[in-house]
Homo-oligomer: A and B are copies of this chain.
Amino acid sequence: MSQYHPFTPQDAIELAKTLPGPFAADANLECREIGDGNLNLVFHITDQNADKSIIIKQALPYAKVVGESWPLSLVRARIEREILQEEYRLCPGMVPEVYHYDDDLALTVMEDLSDHVIMRKGLIDGGTYPLFAQHIGEFMARTLFFTSDLGMNQQLKKEKQGRFVNPDQCKITEDLIFDEPYRIAEKNNYEPSIEDEAEALRTDGELHLEVALLREKFLTHGQALLHGDLHTGSIFVTPESTKVIDPEFAYFGPMGFDVGAVLANLLLHYASLPGRFQDQTALHERETILLNMVRDVWTEFESRFRSLWASDLVDPMAKAPGYEDLYVQQLFRDTAGFAGAKMVRRIVGLAHVADIDTIEDATERERAQRKTLAIGKALIKRNRNLNTIGELLDTVATAVSSIKI
């Protein structure tokens, strides 16, 4: 048993030296703290004598973004480590391998992925990821199916659900996504130029009803073990490879919350593109790539999910005629609604995305913010009536065409 204390780079090196691998006895270890998140320390340790490296991630007992005043349970480190191991078992090579962990120190030693790039940055830099939709579709289909009552023993699922009770992390989501954007709240964060939009969010009863229904689903629907924060900042990519990281928000919740997170962040990037391209042809080409990614992510996910339904179903009643289609329809609607909620909060809530915030021209940035809100609100309001990814993309197009600034 170790006593919890936040590590220094030297502590991280000392720990690395005690590990059976990957470093040789004569390794010349260097360590840099590279965490850019708000909740953790991340140590990158490399052997200067060899092409070997590891990551040590340690949870902090508070959220840095608001100082030490927002305490967070260290339990999330154990939860993150357990779900990484679970996801590695279900999708080998799609999450970092866990080499070692210490739950008392709230730390995990894992595979270094620094040959990959964070997908949000990759997209901003103009990267294309032709295999991403297949990869993430496979990842979501397998992790969600095999941790749901469809694909795992239903009694083991209940025990596992008890191990993934994650109240502090869930509260962050409940507050920042399903509450604060819709009222005056200290942590809200938006530019004065869109005060009219923020005001509209606070007074739109139709929107509030749909957000309340999505919030209820997040609070009560223990459908599968979610990543819980599956945005493009939690995904490492190369053109050939996709790796999902940072599942510290994991808990048993509605599948559409994960799928919606991916779509939302692709759509956030899509909305930022006019602020990044002067050339209209290049802009249109890039927009098409992003919208096709949205389409492909859902299509790949649905197709793999339905394949697993055909091959690996364990629930005796789930073969009832029509049940699979109703299940997937509801999952798609949830996906659309959660995607919308995640877009709205990235404009007016505490945590923004670089896709939008790094647009230098204030008018273009405001245009992107309004476009994001229009798409987000439309997906939220229409979610219970959407049936196909084509209808979702039509909803996006209609929302975009309605923007006037």
Contact = CB atoms under 8 A, between A and B. Distances in A.
A154 interface: yes
Contacts of A212: 315, 317-318, 320, 323
Given A174-B154, A212-B317, A317-B215, A149 B220 contact: yes
A168 interface: yes
B320 A205 contact: yes
The number of times this chain is found in the oligomer is: 2
Chain A, interface residues (CB within 8 Å), range: 35 or more
B149 A322 contact: no
Nearest to A163: B162
Contact of A223 (B209, B220, B320): B220
A168 B208 CA distance: 39
Interface in A158-183: 158-159, 161-162, 165-168, 170-171, 174, 178-179, 182-183
A316 B179 contact: yes
Contact of A222 (B159, B213, B222): B222
A159 B165 contact: yes
Contacts of A159: 165, 167
Contacts of A222: 220-222
A317 B158 contact: no
Nearest to A210: B320
Contacts of A213: 323, 326
Given A149-B216, A209-B323, A212-B323, A166 B158 contact: yes
A155 B179 contact: no
Interface in A192-229: 205, 208-209, 211-213, 215-216, 219-223
Given A179-B316, A316-B179, A317-B215, A209 B326 contact: yes
A321 interface: yes
A156 B183 CA distance: 24
A162 B179 CA distance: 24
Q: Which of A162, A212, A323 has the most CB of B within 10 A?
A: A212
Nearest to A317: B212
A154 to B, nearest CB: 6
Nearest to A153: B167
A205 B165 contact: no
Contact of A158 (B156, B165, B179, B316): B165
A219 B147 CA distance: 13
Nearest to A156: B167
19 contacts: A155-B168, A158-B166, A158-B167, A159-B165, A161-B162, A161-B165, A162-B165, A205-B320, A208-B323, A209-B322, A209-B326, A212-B315, A212-B318, A213-B323, A213-B326, A215-B315, A215-B317, A221-B222, A222-B222
